[in-house]
Structure 1
């Protein structure tokens, strides 16, 4: 549905030497939370070994993202994938990355649970001549040489597009908005909040009365929304940083005897199938997509680098927007 573009260029001698100097695939994944989809003894032949440290399995979006990665980086496609689930803990991701470094994988890719605190382990990967690819989320570092490229959505733009919809469509009269933020310190939580505030700050009708993390999960989204409903009886709009928290909010709204989509509008980001169904049903009002299907593009990036090419430092995926009519049209062919 969405696609990314990147360009091959002639590689410099220094980068060529780095790629040619990468070590061959080593033994199986030593991380207790990980698994290997390749040979139990590591990659053989011409397989490209890749260590992927996933942030967790906190949402439908993340599940679709993991499936896309595993489906793309298969032995049939020329990869030996070593995969770990960090269970939304930075220390687990760092442990997994160090395990991949110790195994001598050819490439490391990961979606960082938070933005900061990565320089030390990424410096270790750089010292070991293992290129690092960021997927979905960015890291906060002054040394951009610590990673080769970052592929993913523009989270600020996602928040801005949701904010523009709220301001222009719902904010024609005074409205009170509550915000369900993603994981504290994560790139999407920071950027989606920034984008939304940028798009609504000049409209005096839009008032954000409360903002709290729901940690990107449906259960926590429901719990936080229950608290919002008790504290603020006159909520007009819920802005959820992802579909799962929005779906949790809907459960809380219905339990409180209100009608989502009518009494309280819900706008979200992601576009997973459950969220799109809720939009088609009128319970969600608007969704800005965040495409999780990054696996094929990640595979192409790694093969481009392995063949001596280069890629853009920042690769932005294309994301759509959906109202009820568009969701109904898209659902029959929705892949996630």
Structure 2
């Protein structure tokens, strides 16, 4: 090898080595994004800050989450993808954090059983309770027992009607009124601001149904006086019930233009009813709330117009909030998360991120 060739080869080797090192030092954004896909994101606080709570104010004592007994009370049967994803998120995060004594109960959509479930968890010595409430009212017996033992309660996905920082610690979930408004915006667009729209109401007795309904109606009244809400009936957040109600709807209101379903399961039940009636995809515009994979697929298939997400992956945020509380940080009375939208522009590409 001549001196010139040797010099050129050495320069090339140095260049390749430097390039490889540079690539190794580049941030690996793709794996990081994949690891956090679907994780809940807290909305940036705006306006006047609400009440906060510290461990000292609450009156409890610090304990180690890893060795403490922690209870999670699920409210509904896990036939609903939202509930499946919610429970899985709690279990997965507990395992990730090394929490060795997580007790999980399921009330099977019976409120009296949920009260009994939580009372039994308290009797078993839990130090922290994470509760997905079936109803917003009727929690007084549980709250009194938990308060007597200074057990912090974090409610997820639905609120309870009680006092933060005394009866319970905080609520983590979506802005349900805003979800209703966003669903209304999508419906207004779908029916060009006029026509007859039906509402498949969620289960009565909880804040989710009330706020999603009020947000939708207020927005329609504000922006689309040409839309008439001509039918309202509860589908109890269930697919079978949503189908039954929609079958009644298309008999009593054959000229209906749109259906607002307050969760995806009812929307999918509505699709089954429309198929059974010989309707073509998109002839009746459906907007729903949740973000299940089946509903997002329904957009891709033309049956649903849009879906407003309600993210059920509460595990990381619930335990992060609990740890901050135990570390002496101030916890807000509510932790509101950001939710995305699905429509024809992103349904196919985002299907893998739905639950």
Fold shared by both chains (TM-score > 0.5): yes
SS in 1 for 2:88: helix
- Given the alignment of the two structures, is residue 325 of structure 1 paired with residue 345 of structure 2, yes or no? yes
In structure 1, what is the equivalent of residue 160 of structure 2?
A: 139
Distance in structure 2 (CA, Å) of the matches to 1:219 and 1:136: 22
Mapped partners of 1:334, 1:184: distance in 2:
30
Mapped contact 1:58–1:217 kept (Cα < 8 A): no
**Cα 1:152–1:143, aligned 2, differ >3 Å: closer, same or farther?**
closer
Conserved? CA contact 1:10–1:308, under 8 Å? no
Query: Which position in structure 2 is the counterpart of 1:298?
Result: 318
State whether structure 2 residue 299 is matched by structure 1 residue 279: yes
CA distance in 1, matches of 2:354, 2:228: 36
Structure 1 residues 1-336: aligned runs within 5 Å: 1=38, 2-4=40-42, 11=54, 13=56, 15=58, 18-20=60-62, 46-56=66-76, 57-74=78-95, 77-141=98-162, 145-167=166-188, 169-202=189-222, 203-261=224-282, 263-331=283-351, 333-334=352-353, 336=355
Contact 1:69 1:296 in 2 (8 A): yes
Q: Based on CA coordinates, which of the two structures has the bigger radius of gyration? A: 2
**1:251/1:102 Cα in 2 relative to 1: closer, same or farther (>3 Å)?**
same
Between the aligned partners of 1:75 and 1:282, the Cα distance in structure 2 is: 39
Q: CA 1:48 to 1:310, structure 2 compared with 1: closer, same or farther past 3 Å?
A: farther
> Is contact 1:6–1:312 with CA below 8 Å preserved after alignment?
no
Gapped regions of structure 1 (runs ≥ 5): 25-42
Counterpart Cα distance in 1 of 2:44 and 2:218: 29
Q: Aligned partners of 1:79, 1:136: CA distance in 2, in Å? A: 24
Q: CA deviation at 1:273?
A: 0.5
- RMSD over aligned CA atoms reads 2.3
2:95 partner SS: coil
* 234 and 14 in structure 1: CA distance in 2 versus 1, 3 angstrom threshold: closer
Once the two structures are TM-superposed, the CA of residue 75 in structure 1 deviates from its matched residue by 7.2
> For each residue in 1:109-132, what CA deviation from the matched residue of structure 2 results, as whole angstroms up to 9, or x when unmatched?
111111111123212101111111
The corresponding residue for 1:30 is: none
Which ranges of structure 2 fall in alignment gaps of 5 or more residues? 1-37, 46-51
* Structure 1 moving runs of 4+ over 6 Å: none
Equivalent pairs, count: 309
TM-score normalised by L of structure 1: 0.86
TM-score by length of 2: 0.81
